[in-house]
Structure 1
């Protein structure tokens, strides 16, 4: 039995989205980030990333974590690549070359896109786009994204999808990283292929179901 530890307001969203696309059966065990609790060590505190019970599963103390009948795996991108291979089908790599490309794009996204995109996401979530200092943070992050977004734009214009000319786990992994920058309209408008591809990804029923659950979860 698969067990996914995490919450919707975490990188577990990319795993939940994929699992829905796969139609896979799994148990979802809520684990909240310790920093979000007033006293994560309190006796009545919910299971969180600092709880001894969770640290016994994941010494890194971070969500998400997957337990597949005793095989424990952390890091959301690695989890998705594993799940795609495990279940197979069109979402998974069909050749060694596709497998390598999916790993390449996951590594490129996490090293070049996710950090600055998160800076944008956090700034908008905190309302900092309404302040001069916040707008400077957003502008600096958007500038860092110019080069990787140009790479992604050109690739999508040629290929249409991230790998194999079809929707795969690679699209889910990348879309969930690009999503963090989505609030900054000027950036997205400058890259219409990226914007259109992301909209198509987010129009899928599995994404919509995941996102509705995320919005329903307490902030």
Structure 2
């Protein structure tokens, strides 16, 4: 059985969402991020990214990691793309062209969107006053996101999904990155096709199941 190492409040959410879409059973080992613990090196600390047993599995000390038979794999997008290819359509590629497009959108999400979207997630608190420095950082991150979101808007204005006009792993990978900036309505409201697509992705039962599991985890 597939094993996923990592709490759902991490990039493991991408893999878990895909597994729910695939109907793929898995075992989850809830490795928590060390930075979330007051003393991750304490003998009583829960299994975390600095635990000796986890570092043997992942020398980088980062989640998520999956084990599938003899394969141990890290990096969340590598994990989702591997599982999508292994289990095929409709979520995986039907041919080399679709495979390349799924890779393209995954790389675009992490190289052009994720860092600034994370800045917004960490600093933007809806209804709360930010410091001047935080406001400037949010404004700068939002400005940098205009260009990649404009590209995404143009693509989604002409089709329902990113690749092959069906919901695939490419949509999961991109949606989970964009989710970080989703609470900043002043930014996302400028891109109605992106917003409609993101809402459609998050209305899927696979996402809702993952999200409920995430909400039920300890913060």
Instruction: Calculate the TM-score normalised by the size of structure 2.
Output: 0.96
In the alignment, which residue of structure 2 is the partner of 1:56? 56
Residues 190-217 of structure 1: CA deviation (Å, up to 9, x unaligned): 0000000000000001101111111111
SS in structure 2 at match of 1:212 = helix
Alpha carbons 2:17, 2:210 under 8 Å: kept: yes
- Per-residue deviation at 1:128? 6.4
SS in structure 1 at match of 2:174 = helix
In the alignment, which residue of structure 1 is the partner of 2:216? 216
Counterpart-to-counterpart distance in 1, 2:2 and 2:18: 13
- Spell out the pairing of 1:96-175 with structure 2 (5 A cutoff): 96-125=96-125, 129-175=129-175
Question: Once superposed, what is the RMSD of the aligned Cα atoms?
Answer: 1.4
Alpha carbons 1:128, 1:134 under 8 Å: kept: no
Instruction: Calculate the TM-score normalised by the size of structure 1.
Output: 0.96
- Per-residue deviation at 1:129? 4.8
Aligned length: 219
Go from structure 1 to structure 2 and tell me whether the alpha carbon gap of 1:203 and 1:129 turns closer, same or farther (over 3 Å shift): farther
Alpha carbons 1:128, 1:135 under 8 Å: kept: no
Segments of 5+ residues of structure 1 without an aligned counterpart are none
Counterpart-to-counterpart distance in 2, 1:45 and 1:126: 32
Go from structure 1 to structure 2 and tell me whether the alpha carbon gap of 1:178 and 1:68 turns closer, same or farther (over 3 Å shift): same
Counterpart-to-counterpart distance in 2, 1:14 and 1:184: 21
Residues 42-91 of structure 1: CA deviation (Å, up to 9, x unaligned): 11111110011101101110000000012000010110000011111201
